């Protein structure tokens, strides 16, 4: 569903934020993308979502190139960035209606999914309030609702659990599993290694723009914790 092949992104000064990155995410995968701050996670994710151009390689979403067919690719993905910057002068319901219009969601489906996910994340009473009045956690939840309402094939997230309370984190995990059980896929970065170990069937670890390990979580972790494996691998690369 998502193929990142030999991706290289170079910023000014010849700094390779992503260096020959290859990752394949298949239908049903919950794929964890792990690394220190500045390792290249966000750059890679922004290339995948079409926010950043890249120098070499290709990115295919459901067999289509993000460079050649960006609109077709974006129709089937949902993206949650690490910093939630949304239209704060809109109310929650206005924002969700706006997102629904962008994706061409029918009146029946948008009403159904807005009700479903706003109740699920306990945001229904807040939808009439302007987003500028929301806490960070509430902004995170309205962004999640906006991601789920158009029923994406692929959910791409950058640190999606930051700012969520334990109940909302649990709900998000369950929704991620449900999306994948229905034939979708998840690709997300996280610093919460315990969550990644329990939730992800596949992981990759990136350091200084390079993938240093990738594969099935169980095969990488074996009888250790993911935290121990991560620290050992990072030390070996020094």
Mean pLDDT score, 110-129: 96
pLDDT number for residue 153: 96
What is the average pLDDT score of the chain?
A: 93
b/e sequence 27-57, b meaning 16+ C-beta within 10 Å: eebbbbbbbeeebbbbbbbbbbbbebebeeb
3-state SS class at 7: strand
Percent of the chain with pLDDT over 70: 98
CB 163 within 8 A of CB 137: yes
Q: Which tokens in the block code for residue 13?
A: 């000064």
Q: Pairing between strand 64-65 and 154-158?
A: unpaired
Q: Which tokens in the block code for residue 199?
A: 């939730």
Mean pLDDT score, 121-149: 95
Counting every residue written for the chain, the total comes to: 238
pLDDT number for residue 71: 95
pLDDT at 168 over 90: yes
pLDDT at 13 over 80: no
Phi, psi at 139, each rounded to 5°: -65, -40
* Rounded CA separation 46/157 (Å): 10
pLDDT number for residue 214: 94
Band of pLDDT at residue 143, cut at 50, 70 and 90 = very high
* Rounded CA separation 123/138 (Å): 8
Q: Which tokens in the block code for residue 88?
A: 């704060």
Inter-CA distances, 16 with 21, 32, 112, 234, Å = 11, 21, 44, 18
* Rounded CA separation 77/151 (Å): 9
181-232 per-position pLDDT tens digit: 999 999 999 988 999 999 999 999 999 999 999 999 999 998 889 999 888 8
pLDDT at 235 over 90: no
Q: Which CATH class is domain 2-76+153-236?
A: alpha beta
Mean pLDDT score, 59-81: 96
State the CB neighbour count (10 A cutoff) for residue 190.
22
pLDDT number for residue 238: 55
Domain ranges of the chain: 2-76+153-236, 86-151
pLDDT number for residue 234: 74
Band of pLDDT at residue 84, cut at 50, 70 and 90 = confident
Strand partners, 158: 189
């Amino acid at each position: 569903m998502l193929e990142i092949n030999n991706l290289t992104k170079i910023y000014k000064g010849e700094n390779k934020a992503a260096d020959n990155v290859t990752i394949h995410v298949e239908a049903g995968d919950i794929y964890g993308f792990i690394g220190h701050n500045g390792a290249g996670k966000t750059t890679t994710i922004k290339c995948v979502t079409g926010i950043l151009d890249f120098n070499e390689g290709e990115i295919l979403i459901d067999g289509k190139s993000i460079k050649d067919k960006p609109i077709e690719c974006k129709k089937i993905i949902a993206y949650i960035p690490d910093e939630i910057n949304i239209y704060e002068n809109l109310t929650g319901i206005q924002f969700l209606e706006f997102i629904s219009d962008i994706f061409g969601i029918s009146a029946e489906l948008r009403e159904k999914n807005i009700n479903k996910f706003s109740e699920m994340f306990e945001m229904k009473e807040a939808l009439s309030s302007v987003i500028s009045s929301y806490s960070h956690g509430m902004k995170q939840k309205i962004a999640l609702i906006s991601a789920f309402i158009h029923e994406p094939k692929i959910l791409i997230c950058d640190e999606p659990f930051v700012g969520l309370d334990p109940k909302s984190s649990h709900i998000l995990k369950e929704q991620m599993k449900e999306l994948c059980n229905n034939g979708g896929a998840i690709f997300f970065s996280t610093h919460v290694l315990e969550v990644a170990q329990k939730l992800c069937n596949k992981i990759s670890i990136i350091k200084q723009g390079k993938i240093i390990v990738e594969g099935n979580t169980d095969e990488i972790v074996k009888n250790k914790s993911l935290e121990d494996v991560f620290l050992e691998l990072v030390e070996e690369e020094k």
